[in-house]
Amino acid sequence: MSSWTPASDKFGVAVGNYAGDQSKSLAIQVGDTVHILEKYGSGPTAWYRGTTMKNKEKVGIFPASIIHIKKCTVENNGLYETVKPVEDHMAREVSYVLWEWSHMWKQLATGEKSVLLAKVRQNVEELINLRSQLMNDTLSSTDARDIRRDIVSIIDWGNAKLGIDLVPRIDGEQVDVDCCSVCNLYRIHMNSAEIAQDDKPKRQATKRQKSSKGEVIAELGIITHHLLISFNNFGCNVGDPSETMLSLYQVKDGHLSCITEQFMVCYTKEGGPEDQSKLGDYYGLFTDLTSDELEKELYLVAQIYRKGSMKPENQKKNNRATFKRPWGVGVVNFTVAKMSSAVKMWNFTIKIQNVTDKTEPHFAGLHEEHINRLKQENKDKSLESLPAQQIGKLGLVLTVSVQVFHGDLTTVKKENPVMFSKGVALIQKIGFADIISPGEIRNDFYVTLKKAALERGNKTSGKNVEVKVTVYNESGQEVKGCIVYGCGEKALNSYQSSVYYHSNHAEWDETIRLSVPIDTFPGCHVCFELFHCSVSQKKDSGRKMFGFAFFRVTNKSNIVIRDGLHELCVYKVSDNHHPKQFFRLPFLLDDFNDPQQINNIPKHMFSKANERESLTIATLLCSGKFTQNGDLPCILNWRGEEFKGKLDQSLDTLCKMKEDEIVKFLHDILNSLFDMMTDRVAIETCAPKIFKTLVHIFTLIHHVRYEMFKPVLESYITDTFSATLVHKPLCSCFQRMVDDAYVHHEKQNLQLIQSFQ
């Protein structure tokens, strides 16, 4: 005969209701947590004896079939034992909050608060969804932390709207007031109060995870977006292997500009993908687009190059030389914000204009003519996908599909593992994203080959000019695998430009990205070797070098050459041509007319420059490690020999520096300033000025223009900051400024107050 025995399973959750209308029974509702003391019987007919966690005074019996057992820890096993479930504390908190809200829910339903009822219902569903994500063991620590912050935001918002007390928390855990400073506790309360006043809770992490499927676009706020391009059909009979370059253009500040790098699609002579594994799976993801860019018109530009002989009619079976020749261009326009949210993927057909002898010299600007025509004619029909039966009527066409993803790229990859397993090419923006996170390492240097101005000499026609671009380090050795022309393809050791037929004034407008290792970047040189390409191709290569140009990326202080156009002088080739020999030569055409530079020009140069010939390029630096500001190294390398004794002057310079430059290098600047605060000599001489500089930077982040960098600063403080002994000089400087404010009442201390918000 069965009897009551001490229970081995001590904790559970009710999955059903039990009325408990008998004298010794215990009423149980769905969701109640129970502490089990004893057990009677086994199997589906077993009974438990215990209490509910919300009312431990009443002990009774209830059926075991309605209880789901959960793991727990038991303290003081026996008559006075206590149980604690083994689960995430925030998941447990959500369960309690939902139970507490359920009583208020009934009052809202019976009252006249339908709007608040709908909002609470939406957030209840969100809490349940977040709790289930939190219980997932596959979450990274970063994702789990973000979810906890979202949960706290929703709970604080709901408690405030329902008139329930707010609980101060840090990363989801309730704050121990005995271990928390008054300032920090006040900041937590202010943050909770701010959340409570909003119309809806702030859920940045939730937006990243929920919206990446492309469901919403109106409520995104400051998050990034990504445009997936699927290359479906190459309807062009080029007759040679081809390269198709896809890039996004947009009008900014009244000027049309390319906002992304290029997605390269390579096809064979027969019209199939060069990489057979990409058959039907040619994907490119344009990353980190802003909400403003999605709300304005975007232009997807396609430029096609043929890789073969100089002229198709000169094609011979024994030809060994191949050149990159302009072949066609096409444009399609669309505005993502105006597209129907009911459709997840949009199909577009790009009509290609084939290049002729007349239009070839203007190939680099043909896409602008197409865009201007689209703007003038306002061809809304170009936004719609064309039926399959009409595609043949258009002649030369490309068909692509476009899909939009919203949120963090890591989350997008996690939610679409099948798509990213096919090898999606990631296409960066040209320039930094709106928010630069601490720890983000990017050191990209863009070089655009613009145009050449060359003399004809004694020839009756112009040259067929090809430019070969190579990067050399400070020792004159080639830096291999650092040149990226088309995303989706391997990095190159050198880049060879397209060739324009009989043109001494060729205009290329071709951009490459130099991803040079950080330790190699200082002192490296970019060399441009100019070749004449023969039409007859009697020689194996079909190329003859006739000149070269170059430029130094950094100066002796490791300051990078300024962004913008640079007119390089072209040197004639000598027999003993070697890259290291031209490192000491002037490289800008203006250097020969600059009185300050003329004295630095060697009197006996091994190679002569023709001042009537030039090669024009454009450069753009996108780096979190190197700068074009000559004042920044004195802060970042303040311990260096050349900056000794100049710390006071360097701090003054930093406060006068452009805000954009400070924000871009925020992580490294803060590291340097806090490093100064741990140096005995720096504290003795410049502690007040270092503190004022920190106040200046923190105040800058509170400016409306740089509000987006607040999360970057908070992330730095919580996750990256590691100066353990800096609190002593900081507190000392803070006290000194407060005391000074009492003595000099006319002083403005608004900056100090703002920096501690």
* 335 within 8 A of 555, measured Cβ to Cβ: no
Output the CA–CA distances (angstroms, integers) from residue 54 to 35, 550, 592, in the order listed.
10, 78, 87
More confident residue, 221 or 510: 510
**Is residue 369 situated within a structural domain?**
yes
Of the candidates 712, 518, 516, the one whose C-alpha atom is nearest the C-alpha of residue 625 is 518
Is the pLDDT reported for residue 468 higher than 90? yes
Is the pLDDT reported for residue 302 higher than 90? yes
Alpha-carbon distance 32 to 459, whole Å? Answer: 94
More confident residue, 102 or 236: 236
Residues 10 and 100 in one domain: no
363-394: pLDDT as tens digits: 999 999 999 888 887 644 444 444 433 333 44
Question: Within the chain, how many helices (H) and strands (E) appear?
Answer: 19, 30
Is the pLDDT reported for residue 596 higher than 70? no
CATH of the domain at 10: 2.30.30.40
- Range 440-444 contact pairs with CB under 8 angstroms and sequence separation of 24 or more: 440/624, 441/624, 441/625, 442/622, 442/623, 442/624, 443/515, 443/516, 443/518, 443/521, 443/623, 443/624, 443/625, 443/626, 444/513, 444/514, 444/515, 444/621, 444/622, 444/623
Q: Please, is 651 exposed, middle or buried when counting C-beta atoms within 10 Å of its C-beta (0-12, 13-18, 19+)?
A: buried
Please give the pLDDT value at position 629. Answer: 80
Q: Which amino acid is at 194?
A: E
CATH of the domain at 393: 2.60.40
For 111, the token pair is 């009252």
Q: Which amino acid is at 41?
A: G
More confident residue, 584 or 241: 241
Name the strand (E) or helix (H) holding 122: helix 114-134
Taking the alpha carbons of 624, 626, 627, 630 in that order, is the dihedral positive or negative?
Answer: positive
Tell me which range, 183-187, 266-270, 298-302, 645-649, is most confidently predicted by mean pLDDT.
Answer: 298-302
Residues 135 and 189 in one domain: yes
Please give the pLDDT value at position 208. Answer: 41
Q: In this structure, what DSSP letter does residue 604 have? A: S
Please give the pLDDT value at position 460. Answer: 75
Q: Which of 2-6, 136-140, 673-677 has the lowest mean pLDDT?
A: 136-140
DSSP string, 240-295: S-EEEEEEEEEEETTEEEE-B--EEEEE-TTSSBSSGGGTT-EEEEEEEE-HHHHH
Beta carbons within 10 angstroms of residue 31's beta carbon: 14
CATH of the domain at 499: 2.60.40.150
Mean pLDDT of 247-263: 92
* β partners of residue 157: none
Please state whether 296 falls in left (phi above 0), alpha (psi between -120 and 50) or beta: beta
Residues 399 and 505 in one domain: no
* 650 within 8 A of 633, measured Cβ to Cβ: no
**Is residue 628 situated within a structural domain?**
no
Please give the pLDDT value at position 384. Answer: 43
Residues 576 and 500 in one domain: yes
**Is residue 388 situated within a structural domain?**
yes
390-434: pLDDT as tens digits: 333 446 899 999 999 988 888 888 888 888 887 899 999 998 766
Is the pLDDT reported for residue 212 higher than 50? no
Please give the pLDDT value at position 215. Answer: 37
Taking the alpha carbons of 362, 365, 370, 374 in that order, is the dihedral positive or negative?
Answer: negative
Is the pLDDT reported for residue 451 higher than 70? yes
Q: In this structure, what DSSP letter does residue 588 have? A: B
CB environment 721-748: b (16+ within 10 A), e (fewer): eeeeebeebbeebeeebeeeeeeeeeee
Residues 343 and 216 in one domain: yes
Compute the mean pLDDT over every residue in the chain, rounded to the nearest whole number: 82
Alpha-carbon distance 716 to 665, whole Å? Answer: 12
Alpha-carbon distance 51 to 7, whole Å? Answer: 13
Please give the pLDDT value at position 337. Answer: 82
Alpha-carbon distance 368 to 509, whole Å? Answer: 12
Residues 416 and 456 in one domain: no
**Is residue 435 situated within a structural domain?**
no
Of the candidates 469, 545, 479, the one whose C-alpha atom is nearest the C-alpha of residue 508 is 469
Beta carbons within 10 angstroms of residue 67's beta carbon: 24
Residues 97 and 137 in one domain: yes
Domain boundary among 22, 50, 85: 85
For 99, the token pair is 């139970």
Alpha-carbon distance 47 to 66, whole Å? Answer: 10
Please give the pLDDT value at position 427. Answer: 95
Mean pLDDT of 734-756: 65
Strands 225-235 and 242-252: unpaired
For 238, the token pair is 């080029």
Q: Which of 225-234, 480-489, 645-654 has the lowest mean pLDDT?
A: 645-654
Q: Please, is 464 exposed, middle or buried when counting C-beta atoms within 10 Å of its C-beta (0-12, 13-18, 19+)?
A: buried
**Is residue 438 situated within a structural domain?**
no
Beta carbons within 10 angstroms of residue 610's beta carbon: 14
**Is residue 133 situated within a structural domain?**
yes
Residues 30 and 122 in one domain: no
Please give the pLDDT value at position 530. Answer: 93
Alpha-carbon 369 to chain mean position: 31
Is the pLDDT reported for residue 54 higher than 80? yes
Per-residue confidence at 171, pLDDT binned at 50, 70, 90?
A: low
**Is residue 278 situated within a structural domain?**
yes
- Percent of residues, the chain, with pLDDT higher than 90: 29
For 128, the token pair is 């349940």
Domain boundary among 202, 228, 259: 202
Alpha-carbon distance 500 to 520, whole Å? Answer: 34
Alpha-carbon distance 111 to 107, whole Å? Answer: 6
Alpha-carbon distance 15 to 33, whole Å? Answer: 10
CATH of the domain at 124: 1.20.1270.350
Alpha-carbon distance 84 to 125, whole Å? Answer: 26
More confident residue, 672 or 377: 672
Please give the pLDDT value at position 403. Answer: 92
Q: Please, is 717 exposed, middle or buried when counting C-beta atoms within 10 Å of its C-beta (0-12, 13-18, 19+)?
A: exposed
Alpha-carbon distance 236 to 397, whole Å? Answer: 6
Domain boundary among 36, 66, 85: 85
* 309 within 8 A of 323, measured Cβ to Cβ: yes
* 149 within 8 A of 207, measured Cβ to Cβ: no
Structural domain boundaries, residue 61:
5-85
Is the pLDDT reported for residue 580 higher than 50? yes
Beta carbons within 10 angstroms of residue 591's beta carbon: 16
Please give the pLDDT value at position 60. Answer: 92
Tell me which range, 32-41, 275-284, 589-598, is most confidently predicted by mean pLDDT.
Answer: 32-41
Alpha-carbon 213 to chain mean position: 18
Is the pLDDT reported for residue 555 higher than 50? yes
* β partners of residue 247: 301
**Overall number of domains in the chain:** 5
Which residue carries 């206590």 as its tokens?
82
Of the candidates 554, 468, 457, 456, the one whose C-alpha atom is nearest the C-alpha of residue 508 is 468
Residues 420 and 300 in one domain: yes
Please give the pLDDT value at position 166. Answer: 76
Residues 451 and 321 in one domain: no
Please give the pLDDT value at position 381. Answer: 47
Is the pLDDT reported for residue 588 higher than 70? yes
Q: Which of 75-89, 133-147, 182-196, 381-395 has the lowest mean pLDDT?
A: 381-395
**Is residue 436 situated within a structural domain?**
no
Please give the pLDDT value at position 200. Answer: 66
Residues 179 and 193 in one domain: yes
Please give the pLDDT value at position 367. Answer: 93
314-348: pLDDT as tens digits: 665 556 678 999 999 999 999 888 877 667 889 99
Strands 323-334 and 298-308: antiparallel
Alpha-carbon 521 to chain mean position: 22
493-530: pLDDT as tens digits: 999 999 999 998 999 999 999 999 999 999 999 999 99
More confident residue, 650 or 594: 650
Residues 448 and 380 in one domain: no
Alpha-carbon distance 739 to 513, whole Å? Answer: 53
Q: Please, is 718 exposed, middle or buried when counting C-beta atoms within 10 Å of its C-beta (0-12, 13-18, 19+)?
A: exposed
716-741: pLDDT as tens digits: 887 788 877 888 888 888 888 777 77
Largest CA distance in the chain: 117
